[in-house]
Amino acid sequence: MCFANFEVKSETLKVEQLDVLHVSIEYFPAAKAGGLADVVGALPKYLNENNFDTAVVIPKHHTTWILAQKWNPVYKGKVKIGSKVYLFSISSHDDFDSHALYVLDLPGLFDRQSIYIDTETGYGYTDDHLRNIVFQTAVLEWLNSMRQYPKTLHCHDHHTGLIPFMINHCTQYQKLNKIPTVFTIHNGAYHGAFDWKDADLLPSFDRNAKGLLDWDNQINPLACGVKCCWKLTTVSPGYMDELRYDSNGLESLFNQEKDKSVGVINGIDTGVWNPATDTRLDTVYKKSIATFKQANKKALAEEFDFDIRLPLVTFIGRLAYEKGAQILPDLFCRYLDKQQDVTFLVLGTGDKNTEKLLTNVQKMYPQNIQVRIGYDESLAHQLYAGSDFLLMPSKVEPCGLNQMYAMRYGTIPIVNNVGGLRDTVIDLQKKDGYGICFQKATVFSAMDAVQRAAGIYQDSKEMKRLQKKVFELDFSWNASAQQYADIYQTLR
Ligand code: GLC
């Protein structure tokens, strides 16, 4: 049950006219933990360039970026969740270039610097499902106060997967039930499931619709989003296929909802990822790719103290099981035991055991392994520019953006052939190929792939040809944003 709102400002009018309102937990540059932020940060820009009026609403996390901005108050309201009342307010960014950005302030729940991880314990927040429910309910409360609504709601990942259900089956939001919903899965490994004993945290709903919330005797926001949305998308066609035979127990559901599902490959923000203007780089691209690569590699070699003559194979990302990070320590040891003709560099944070093992192998081979534990956006840019190869041994990769960033900066991808990696990297041995693909995220297949890379590196003409080829590929959002635009149109 929700109380009436007590203040509505004219900014709300803009939202009423919107074509699409994106609802997300992450958004670049405001709050980023992974690729979700990059996509929600870029897609609206491209849609707006194509005459789609798009905006984004995210929680007001207390990240450095969000706290440093100027925000204009737009709306204030309250929601009652269980027996507790939560006051919230929405404000819009004072000066944002291409589209409106709204932050929803929920004191006590989102006034935390880290998006998912409790910095005290090192684990995920224990009140995550409560936070997500309150955020989603507050967004609907805001929309409910309008006389006219955005033409489409676009929800991203399980954090916002209950919205399509709520607008259809929660009595107080049924006014919104004509708004078409698109639900995009960026990472199907996380379901956000919680126990039925917490069902009272949801706004009161039609008990006959209970089955839509349920999967395996739990309330499962990811499954619920899949069932209730008008259109389901994942971030690559390859991943859409995989979900139908391998999705942690949801296979039958993805098969069942096949007709409303489509895989749309992500693009990259070529404004942010532009080798010719990137201010985070030591040397930007001017005319020659070879000069660009060499200068940036030299800067890295000086910073990390490695031999510039060896090929530099980099891993950037979360040190997580699905990213294949757990094979890295063993891979490095076995490879370097045999030959020391490669430098490996890792930038990432995540699984504590993997972090420890990586630091240990670095001590064993200080000449050939460099490890930087942490998240560092600037260094990531420098690594894409200065590396020869980017290694992505992902076990699961819904789309993967890093391989596209790498190619945009002339770095050759070495990838396990799954999901979006399969859709974006063609092996060299195939016609028009430009990357190195392997068939399983195991130490031995990754080792063979690195060996292939080291071989190619010896042939400087071939390296130059490949660098030029990947550099010239177009991974911008243009084509994919058009696909989303078409989806929104067909739902009207
Ligand atoms: C998630 C996926 C990644 C995808 C990104 C953006 O982080 O793991 O593969 O590229 O979302 O959709």
**pLDDT on residue 15:** 76
Q: How does DSSP classify residue 3?
A: P
Give the helix/strand (H/E) hosting 126: none
- 3-state DSSP call for residue 209? helix
User: Could you tell me the distance, in angstroms and rounded to a whole number, from the CA of residue 155 to the centre of ligand 1?
Assistant: 15
The domains located in the chain, with CATH, are 10-267+478-491 (3.40.50.2000), 289-471 (3.40.50.2000)
- Report percent pLDDT > 90 for the chain: 91
pLDDT of residue 11 exceeding 70: no
- Report percent pLDDT > 70 for the chain: 97
**pLDDT on residue 48:** 92
Is 265's C-beta closer than 6 angstroms to any atom of ligand 1? no
Give the helix/strand (H/E) hosting 137: helix 128-144
Contact 415, 440 (CB under 8 A): no
**pLDDT on residue 2:** 37
Backbone angles phi and psi of 479, in degrees to 5? -70, -45
Cβ neighbours for 424, distance < 8 A, ≥ 6 positions apart: 236, 265, 399, 400, 403, 404, 475
What is the C-alpha to C-alpha distance for residues 30 and 188, in angstroms, rounded to an integer?
23
* Residue 235 Cα: closest atom of ligand 1: 12
343 alpha carbon, distance to own chain's centre: 28
pLDDT of residue 3 exceeding 50: no
Structure tokens given for 1: 């049950």
pTM comes to 0.92
Is 394's C-beta closer than 6 angstroms to any atom of ligand 1? no
What letter represents residue 416's amino acid? N
User: Could you tell me the distance, in angstroms and rounded to a whole number, from the CA of residue 420 to the centre of ligand 1?
Assistant: 9
Of 65, 89, 88, 72, nearest to 14 by C-alpha is 72
Residue with tokens 């409303």: 260
473 versus 123: the higher-pLDDT residue is 473
Is 35's C-beta closer than 6 angstroms to any atom of ligand 1? yes
Mean pLDDT along residues 152-172: 98
What is the C-alpha to C-alpha distance for residues 489 and 182, in angstroms, rounded to an integer?
12
Contact 95, 72 (CB under 8 A): no
How would you list the strands of the sheet with 436-438, edge to edge?
369-373, 343-348, 312-316, 389-392, 412-416, 436-438
What is the C-alpha to C-alpha distance for residues 304 and 343, in angstroms, rounded to an integer?
11
Q: How does DSSP classify residue 113?
A: S
Give residue 131's pLDDT band: very low, low, confident or very high (50, 70, 90). very high
Structure tokens given for 82: 């269980």
Is 192's C-beta closer than 6 angstroms to any atom of ligand 1? no
pLDDT of residue 314 exceeding 70: yes
What burial class does residue 277 get, using C-beta atoms within 10 Å of its C-beta: 0-12 exposed, 13-18 middle, 19+ buried?
A: exposed
Is 238's C-beta closer than 6 angstroms to any atom of ligand 1? no
Structure tokens given for 51: 């005459």
Among 27, 186, 273, name the best residue to mutate to test ligand 1's pocket (greatest count of ligand atoms within 8 A of Cβ): 186
What is the C-alpha to C-alpha distance for residues 266 and 39, in angstroms, rounded to an integer?
7
Of 239, 238, 389, nearest to 314 by C-alpha is 389
Give residue 13's pLDDT band: very low, low, confident or very high (50, 70, 90). low
pLDDT of residue 5 exceeding 60: no
Is 59's C-beta closer than 6 angstroms to any atom of ligand 1? no
Residue with tokens 């939001």: 173
**pLDDT on residue 277:** 98
pLDDT of residue 7 exceeding 70: no
pLDDT tens-digit readout, 399-423: 999 999 999 999 999 999 999 999 9
Residue with tokens 């499902």: 129
* Residue 401 Cα: closest atom of ligand 1: 10
pLDDT tens-digit readout, 407-466: 999 999 999 999 999 999 999 999 999 999 999 999 999 999 999 999 999 999 999 999
Contact 373, 353 (CB under 8 A): no
pLDDT of residue 4 exceeding 60: no
Give the helix/strand (H/E) hosting 286: none
pLDDT of residue 264 exceeding 70: yes
Mean pLDDT along residues 4-25: 71
- Neighbouring CB atoms inside 10 A of 10's CB total 7
Looking at 209-316, list the stretches that DSSP marks H as alpha helix, in order from N- to C-terminal side: 210-213, 221-228, 237-245, 251-256, 289-304
Give the helix/strand (H/E) hosting 155: strand 152-156
Residue with tokens 């195991």: 442
Is 401's C-beta closer than 6 angstroms to any atom of ligand 1? yes
What is the C-alpha to C-alpha distance for residues 189 and 224, in angstroms, rounded to an integer?
15
* Antiparallel, parallel or unpaired: β 214-215 and 100-105: unpaired
C-alpha distances out from residue 76 to 84, 89, 434, Å: 17, 4, 52
